[in-house]
Each structure stands twice: as structure tokens, then as C-alpha cells.
Amino acid sequence: MALKDKLHDLKMKYAGTKMSPVFNAFHTFLYAPNETTHSGSHIRGADDLKRTMNTVIMALVPCLIFGMFNAGYQHHLATGEINSVTGGFFSAEFWSSSNFWVGFAKVLPLVIVSYVVGLAVEMFFAAKNGHEVEEGYLVTGMLVPLIVPIDIPLWMLSVAVIFGVVLGKEVFGGTGMNILNPALLIRAFLFFAYPTWMSGDKVWVHGAVERTNEIAAGSNADAISGETLLGYYAKFGQELKYKAADGITEITTTYGDRANELYSIWDMFYGFIPGSVGETSTLLILIGALFLIFSKIGSWRIMLSAALGALAMGLIFNFVVDSGWITESSKFYGLMSTTYWHHLIIGGFAFGAVYMATDPVTASQTNKGKWIYGFLIGFISILIRVFNPAYPEGVMLAILLMNVFAPTIDHYVVQGNVKRRMKRLKAKTA
Amino acid sequence: MSKDIRIKKGLDIKLQGEAEKTLTNAVASNVYSLLPVDFHGITPKLIAKVGAKVKTGEPIFYNKEVDSMNFVSPISGEVIEVSRGEKRRITGIKIQAAKEQTYTEHGTFDLSSADAEKVKNHLLVSGCWPFIKQRPYDVIANPTKSPKAIFISGYASAPLTACYDFVLQGKEAELQAAVTALGKLTEGSVHVSVGAKSSNPLAGLNGIVLHKVSGPHPSGNVGTQIAKIDPINKGETIWTISPQDLVIIGELLLTGKFNAERIVAVGGSVVKNPKYYKTKIGAEVASMIYDAGVDSDNFRVISGNVLTGRAVKPDGFLGYYDNTVTLIPEGNDYELFGWNKPVFNKISNSRALTFSWLTPNKKYDLDTNTNGEHRAFVLTGKYEEVFPLDIYPMQLMKACMYGDLDEMEALGMYEVAPEDFALTEFVCVSKQPHQEIIRKGLDLMLKEIG
């Protein structure tokens, strides 16, 4: 085959130069390399890191496509061009081409910027340090556009990606060496550097920010508000005034009631709610999770224990509310009184638990440790969610926190093994 | 007390080209070779110089550290070449076979009256000692130490290895003599394991503790069996011997002759007629593989099995401990979209568009391609699925890589040998050289702790 031979000649030409890792990064995407075993086992299993990462990306694609539709849907809903879905998951109001194209035009640039900037940084460091480009960013690059608000400016995303990849990963030595999940670090950077772009009721629906600016400039169009469910619940008892469908009558209600009126449980589960691009559809995340578990790529231990942890914390809060230890006037009442299992389907919890907590590098590396690590992520996510409603999502901070503690958990699990060995020795010599 | 061993964690790699159970006499090899690479950690001191005429069983070199440990010629003939590497280290000794075979006579050994010291000296002088290996460190046993037990695995679970049920047929007397002699070297037991459903002559021996083994590879690895029966603690030593080497020891004790005869399984997907050959240690592999027929012009010859063997050239030699020669295709070619297309013809323990889980009984034709490039350790929990020991494999390897002796010791380094990491190496997504990492770690420990 001519192409194969030409590329081989090119590879040989670049071998040993700074260009070599960059060329190989592209070459290996076309052809699996011709490397053979040199030591130890003469045969090797079929999986490599690229295949593994690719499997995670495949599990993310449904969320990405749903995110495109949802971006258009939320936009059109807010501008009043369409009505809410009525027909379940396959509602025609949602799966329309007009929804898709609006979302596609917004999400595709996010994906492209994320990959181009992130991979450029990776390749720069690979060329500089003379190692191959490792595949870690393939998944990170897909996660990033899915966990940011739809209207985030692209320059902001670029800055965050550079920050996340350089300080989150490369300074530790690249893929496999990092302590914090790079995708979440990118989101955390955005969150703390540009808080107005990452929280509130103006960023989750495409066009909301633009409209706010227009109004400030003197336009008399209606403001687009796209509060996330967590935002509603956080302000549960507060009074909310909004204009009815006729555009004149002013209705007064509370945030909690309004949320329940707007979104049903099924809406939350299907994902027809405002939020970061890809995090809303619990249904598709669940399908992705099953695919990851079936393909043995994602850790079911972490996913399951994270869900258990979240349920446990939710139950504790429900118990607090039921026991009357907290009154409705408390600012924590709304999220605390949320039915415990609803926590799994609102906010980014499901997305975080399935795709981010399971990052093998930053998670616990022992099977026992994974149970503890996952459980604490779920537990702390809901804790932060309830007690710190200013942060719209606790799962990001919970995972980052547990990333830091994962080595400690592993240490104690491994020490258990070491102690068993010492005990055996003692029994022998005694 | 007999204890049956049943393991669940592991992986049976089923390959094409299993040797048919028929025995052929291999063409007599012209040249035989002793390769110090087989005797890890030994510094050879040459006895027979180039031009020396040797009998079968006559010492060729001895161990620099233990003068009495001889390594003997598997054949009668003339030393024709001593090749040397860095610092004039001996890398190979070639012996041209003579037409007439003569043996160094050691006389029959009186087992009933012999004590441990006598057995030891007899084995050292006659060149049988190198067959005994020790854990920790997976090197030739140190004769000054006394092992807490001796392990013999009569169950070969690695892909395409010689079946002990077949190659040990009719060797009961030799096996019994060897086991009786070895029993004198330890205060503990001689543990012998056989497959749960096998008809292995080892099962009928006296003076042993018999274990029946079942489960996927590495159930036949002696390391797995030690871990399940009598794990090694710090300061303890266990000796291990492979059954075919027992036959050589037994024959020496009974007849006084060192007979380096071996029955070797020649198999692999590129072999036309995979079958068993009767040959001798150190023989040219060409004396067997071309008789069995090779169906390719781009293949690798492995002395040993595909997981732990050593690559040899087609004009190379059978390793000292090996009873298997495997020929598989070289995989030095590119594969279009190899990283993402569905895979049906390779083995994987994931299901990431790899479909070997659908056909658990299919026999595969695997080549030597790494199926990916070397990467940092990323995935976790994969090794544990194929690693039956109560050890954290990745943590132990990392300890080896940064050379932390305390941590290596605490994590169980005394219990492992490189071969125990062959399967983790096979499934490794990051294509790390596990066996090499462990070997280097063991060498470091041996040097620093001893």
C-alpha cells in the first residue's frame, strides 16, 4: 500500500527529531504502529490507551448530541418560539432540526476550541520533552465543552484549557501523573476566574446574556431567564415575579413552586432542563454508564458508590427536614427538602459521577479504595450542593477534593495488605 | 496435608498450533550451546577452553560466587567457540557434537544412606544444581541456605507449553529418586501439584504433598501455588524445580549419568505440524522447527512459551530450562485504524469494541505486535483481574521503578518472580514492560539485601 509506505518513510525521516512525537501523534491515528514486543511477554492484548479513551468518547457522544438539541430547545423555549415538550423523550418539540442547528452552531466551536487548544499544548510539551503525545486529552477535550455554559466566550475557554492542561497535567509530568482531573480543573478555573459566566440565571440558555445586554442598551425586549433547577431550589421559598404568557399579567409565586410547575421529574430525567451543555440528560448518562461498565472501561464501583453516597446524604437531609429541625424560612430548606433521589437527576451529579469521578488517574487506584472514594464524592457533592448554594454544583468541588484525598485512601488500603503480610510473618516467627 | 488450589483470577490465552501428542526424535544437532543468559545472576568462570574435548556431563564453567557449582556439557564433543560481551563477560559457549557419546560417570547414588550435605554436593558437582531455583529473587538456589519447602508444579497452564502428563510418561522411577533426594534438602515438605483432571505420573510419588490445581493460567505457575499453599515471608526461602529437570536429576542418581534429554513441544500458529520432539538441552532449534515445518517467512522463534520465553534466531539454541519452542508471526506491520476498529481476531479482557468475550473457546493467531504504544500507567484495576496473588501489582511495580526497597519488601517483592507478571503485562493497556520492571527490582533487592 503506497500511503502506508510513504508514511513509514516519513516516520523514519522524523525519527529522533523534535517533530517526531507530533508526526507520530497523527500517524498513529491512521495506522496502529508496527511496534513489536522486545521483552517479557511476546504477545499483547488488543487494547491500548487510544482504544480505551475512544470508548469513553463513544459513551459521551449521545450526551454531546443531546446537548446540541437541548441548547436550541432551551433557546427557543425562552424566546417563546416553541412550547414545552409534551410527548416524553422523543417529543417533536425537542428533536427538531431548528433546535439542532442552533445548538450545533454553538457547541461545535466549543468542541473545536477545546481540542485544538488542548492538543496544541500537549503536542508542544511532547515535542519539548521528547515523549509521545499521550491520549489523556482525547477524553478531557470532549468533557470540557460538555461541562461549560453554552454561551461561554471562546477566548475564555481557551485560557481555561491552557491553564488546566499546563498546570493541571503537564507540570506533573503529563498523562498518568496528574493529581486533579484536568477537565474539572478547567471548569474550576472558569468558575473562580469568571464567576459571572458560570453561575446565575443568565448563562445557561443561549442568547440570555446577549438579551440582557440589549435591554441594558435600551431595548424593550423581554429578558431571557434560564435558571437551573439547582438555582430554583436554592431560592426555594423566595418570592418570584414573572410575566404570564400574555406578557402583561404579573404572577407572583415562589421559586420552588415555579420550578415544580416548569419541570416534571421526567423532564429532569430526560434532560429537558437548562444546565451545562452535556450534563442534563440523566437518561443518556445512564446509558453511557452502562456502556462503560459493560465494556469494562469505567469503574462500576465508583459510579455505584457515588450514587449511594448521594442518596445517603439526601436521606440525611430529608430526615432533618422531616424531623422539623429546620424551618421553611431557612435558606437551606429548599435543597434540603428535595426528595433524596431527585439529587441524582438534577444538576451535574450524574455526569460527574459517571464521566469525571471515574477518571482512573485521579481516582483511587485500589478496588476497595474506589468504594470509599466514590461514596465520599456522592456524599460531599450533596453536602456542598445544599450548604453552599452559591456554588451551583457541588459535584465539581467534591470530585476535586476527593482527587486530592484519593492517594491517602489508597495508602490506607495498601497498608491493609502490608499489615496482613507482616501479621503472617509474626505468626510464623512467634 | 493436601490442599487443592482453585483460582478464578487469571486468563487462559488460547492459541493456534498446539503440539500434537506424538513423539519424534529430533535430528541430531551439530552444535550445542550453553547460554549464561539462562542462568540469571551467575557470573561464569570458564573451565573448558576453546578446543577442549568434553564428555557429556563434564563441567564447562562454574559459578564465580560458588566454586563448587558446575555447569556441565549436555553433549560429548569439542568446545568450538566462547563468545564474550561487555567486560569480556561470557555470553555463549558452543560445543560441536562428537559422533561417539561418552558420559562422565558419577556412579549410582545411595539414596538411603545419604544426608542433605551429600545430596547437595552430588548435585553441585554433577551439574544438576542449576535446575533448582529459589524464591525470593527467582535465581539459581543458594546452596548455603535451607529452604522451608520445595515446590514442583506439574501443571503447565501457559499457552502452548509442553503437557507434563505426556512428557513425563514412564519416568516414575527417575521422578521418585529425585523427589526422595530433594526431600532430604528441606525440613519442610516437597509440594507437588498436578492438574485437577490429569493423569500425571507425579501424582503417584511417595514422600510428597500432592495438590490438585484448577482454574485459568497462572494456576500452573509455581508462584501462584506457593502463594496459595505456603507464602514466602521475609527471610524465608523456597526452592522450585520443573518436573522435566527432576527426570534428569533422577537419572543421574540412578545411573550416574547426566542425560540432558528433553522432550520439547514445538507449536505455534506458523508451525505446519506442531508436535513433540526428543532432543537435548542446548540443541539448535533448527533441528526441530524445519522438520515440523514453518508456514511463514516473517516469524519469531521463542525458546519457551509466548509469555515468558526468550526470542531466539532460527539458528539459535534451546534454552537450558525450556521444554517448549513456540513460533508465532512477527507483527511488524501497520494496521489501518487499528486503534478504533472492532477487533475480532485478538484477545482482550475488556469489551471496548473487542469481541474475544463472545468466543471464549476460539483459538487465536496472535502476532508479536504490541497493539499500541508504550504509555504511562493510566488504567487501574485491570491487572488485579488476572493476578491471583494477594499483592497490589501496580503499586509493587511502581515501587520497583523508583527503587524503594522498603516499599518493595512491604508490598510482597519476596513472593514474586517475573513470570507472575506475564499476564498483567499481556493485558496492560499502557504496554509497560512488567516482567522487565520486576526483574530489575529483584536484581536491585538481591544486590542491596541479598
Cβ A255 vs Cβ A338: under 8 Å: no
Cβ B6 vs Cβ B215: under 8 Å: yes
**Which chain B residue has its CA at the smallest distance from A369's CA?**
B381
Query: How many Cβ atoms from other residues are within 10 Å of residue B37's Cβ?
Result: 12
Cell for B265?
A: 513441544
- CA–CA dist B398, B410 (Å, integer): 13
Q: Which of residues 206-245 of A touch B (CB under 8 A)?
A: none
Cβ B254 vs Cβ B172: under 8 Å: no
Q: Looking at the domain assignment, is residue B353 inside a domain? A: no
Given CB atoms, is B306 within the 8 Å cutoff of chain A?
Answer: yes
Shortest Cα distance, chain A CAs vs residue B102, angstroms: 38
Check whether residue B404 and residue B306 sit in a common domain.
Answer: no
Q: Looking at the domain assignment, is residue A248 inside a domain? A: no
Check whether residue B124 and residue B139 sit in a common domain.
Answer: yes
Q: Containing domain of residue B66, as a range?
A: 31-97
Beta strands across the sheet bearing B209-214: B5-6, B209-214, B190-195, B149-153, B238-240, B133-135, B139-140
Q: Looking at the domain assignment, is residue B293 inside a domain? A: yes
User: Which residues in chain B have Cβ-Cβ distances shorter than 8 Å to A422?
Assistant: 410
Cell for A348?
A: 451535574
Q: In the listed set B47, B69, B97, which residue is the last one of a domain according to the structure?
A: B97
For Cα atoms B139, B141, B143, give the angle at the middle one, nearest 5 degrees: 150
Q: In the listed set A148, A166, A198, which residue is the last one of a domain according to the structure?
A: A198
Q: Which residues of chain A have pLDDT under 70?
A: 1, 245-247, 389-392, 430
Structure confidence at residue A362 (pLDDT): 93
- Best probe of the B interface among A37, A299, A373, by most B CBs < 10 A, is A37
Check whether residue B327 and residue B403 sit in a common domain.
Answer: no
Of B307, B348, B395, the CB nearest to A46: B348
Check whether residue B143 and residue B172 sit in a common domain.
Answer: yes
- CA–CA dist A422, A305 (Å, integer): 30
Query: How many Cβ atoms from other residues are within 10 Å of residue A289's Cβ?
Result: 23
Query: How many Cβ atoms from other residues are within 10 Å of residue A405's Cβ?
Result: 14
DSSP element (H, E) containing B152: strand B149-153
Structure confidence at residue A391 (pLDDT): 66
Of A32, A47, A135, the CB nearest to B334: A32
Where helices occur in B18-163 by DSSP H, the ranges are: 116-126
Given CB atoms, is A11 within the 8 Å cutoff of chain B?
Answer: no
Q: Containing domain of residue A11, as a range?
A: 2-33+49-198
Q: Looking at the domain assignment, is residue B436 inside a domain? A: yes
Number of domains into which chain B is organized: 3
Q: In the listed set B62, B97, B132, which residue is the last one of a domain according to the structure?
A: B97
- A177-216 burial, b at 16+ Cβ within 10 Å, e below that, comes to bbebbbbbbbbbbbbeebeebbbbbbbbbbbbbebbeeee
Check whether residue A411 and residue A318 sit in a common domain.
Answer: yes
Number of domains into which chain A is organized: 2
Check whether residue B129 and residue B242 sit in a common domain.
Answer: yes
Check whether residue B300 and residue B181 sit in a common domain.
Answer: yes
**Which chain A residue has its CA at the smallest distance from B410's CA?**
A418
Check whether residue A190 and residue A268 sit in a common domain.
Answer: no
- CA–CA dist A99, A356 (Å, integer): 28
Check whether residue A185 and residue A332 sit in a common domain.
Answer: no
Check whether residue A7 and residue A127 sit in a common domain.
Answer: yes
User: Which residues in chain A have Cβ-Cβ distances shorter than 8 Å to B333?
Assistant: 34
User: Which residues in chain A have Cβ-Cβ distances shorter than 8 Å to B338?
Assistant: 31-32
Q: Which of residues 246-305 of B touch A (CB under 8 A)?
A: 300, 302
Q: Which of residues 167-206 of A touch B (CB under 8 A)?
A: 173-177
Q: In the listed set A144, A166, A198, which residue is the last one of a domain according to the structure?
A: A198
Task: Find cell 542462568 and name the residue.
Answer: B39
Q: Looking at the domain assignment, is residue B156 inside a domain? A: yes
- Best probe of the B interface among A36, A47, A296, by most B CBs < 10 A, is A47
Distance from the Cα of residue A225 to its chain's centroid: 23
Q: Looking at the domain assignment, is residue A233 inside a domain? A: no
Q: Looking at the domain assignment, is residue B427 inside a domain? A: yes
Q: In the listed set A158, A179, A198, which residue is the last one of a domain according to the structure?
A: A198
Q: Which of residues 172-191 of B touch A (CB under 8 A)?
A: none
Q: Looking at the domain assignment, is residue A226 inside a domain? A: no
**Which chain B residue has its CA at the smallest distance from A426's CA?**
B233
Check whether residue A65 and residue A148 sit in a common domain.
Answer: yes
What are the pLDDT digits (tens) for B8-19? 999 999 999 999
DSSP element (H, E) containing B44: strand B44-46
Given CB atoms, is B16 within the 8 Å cutoff of chain A?
Answer: no
Record: contact B351-A295, CB cut-off 8 A: yes
Q: Looking at the domain assignment, is residue A374 inside a domain? A: yes
**Which chain A residue has its CA at the smallest distance from B378's CA?**
A176
Record: contact B352-A297, CB cut-off 8 A: yes
For Cα atoms A372, A375, A378, give the angle at the middle one, nearest 5 degrees: 150
User: Which residues in chain A have Cβ-Cβ distances shorter than 8 Å to B234?
Assistant: 425
Check whether residue B47 and residue B7 sit in a common domain.
Answer: no
Q: Which residue, among B243, B159, B234, has the nearest Cα to B203 in the 3D structure?
A: B243
Q: How many CB pairs under 8 A join A and B?
A: 224
Check whether residue A161 and residue A16 sit in a common domain.
Answer: yes
Check whether residue B40 and residue B187 sit in a common domain.
Answer: no
Record: contact A45-B371, CB cut-off 8 A: yes
- CA–CA dist A351, B204 (Å, integer): 60
- CA–CA dist B308, B325 (Å, integer): 11
Cβ B238 vs Cβ B230: under 8 Å: yes
Q: In the listed set B75, B97, B119, which residue is the last one of a domain according to the structure?
A: B97
Given CB atoms, is A4 within the 8 Å cutoff of chain B?
Answer: yes
Check whether residue A141 and residue A266 sit in a common domain.
Answer: no
Given CB atoms, is A430 within the 8 Å cutoff of chain B?
Answer: no
Of A40, A44, A134, the CB nearest to B375: A134
Bridge partners (DSSP) listed for residue B92? B83
Check whether residue B399 and residue B322 sit in a common domain.
Answer: no
Check whether residue B303 and residue B428 sit in a common domain.
Answer: no
* SS3 track for A315-361: HHHHHHHHCCCCCCCCCCHHHHHCCHHHHHCCCCHHHHHHHHCCCCC
Given CB atoms, is B311 within the 8 Å cutoff of chain A?
Answer: yes
Write the DSSP assignment of B302-318 as a string of letters.
EES-TTT-EEE-TT-B-
Q: What is the mean pLDDT of each run of 10 residues along chain B (450 residues)?
A: 83 93 91 93 92 93 92 94 91 93 89 89 93 93 92 93 92 93 92 90 90 93 93 93 94 92 94 94 92 90 94 93 94 86 90 88 92 88 92 94 94 94 94 94 90
What CATH number did the domain enclosing B48 receive? 2.40.50.100
User: DSSP code of B136?
Assistant: T
Helix axes B172-183, B116-126, angle to 10 degrees: 120
Q: Looking at the domain assignment, is residue B273 inside a domain? A: yes
- B149-187 burial, b at 16+ Cβ within 10 Å, e below that, comes to bbbbbbbbbbbbbbbbbbbbeebeebbbbbbbbbbbbbe
Amino acid letter, B69? M
Q: Looking at the domain assignment, is residue A427 inside a domain? A: no
**Which chain B residue has its CA at the smallest distance from A301's CA?**
B381
Check whether residue B260 and residue B235 sit in a common domain.
Answer: yes
Given CB atoms, is A424 within the 8 Å cutoff of chain B?
Answer: yes
Q: Looking at the domain assignment, is residue A164 inside a domain? A: yes
Cβ B393 vs Cβ B401: under 8 Å: no
Structure confidence at residue A15 (pLDDT): 83
Record: contact B381-A4, CB cut-off 8 A: no
Shortest Cα distance, chain B CAs vs residue A55, angstroms: 6
Q: Looking at the domain assignment, is residue B263 inside a domain? A: yes
Residues 6+ apart with CB under 8 A from B214: B4, B5, B6, B7, B195, B196, B197
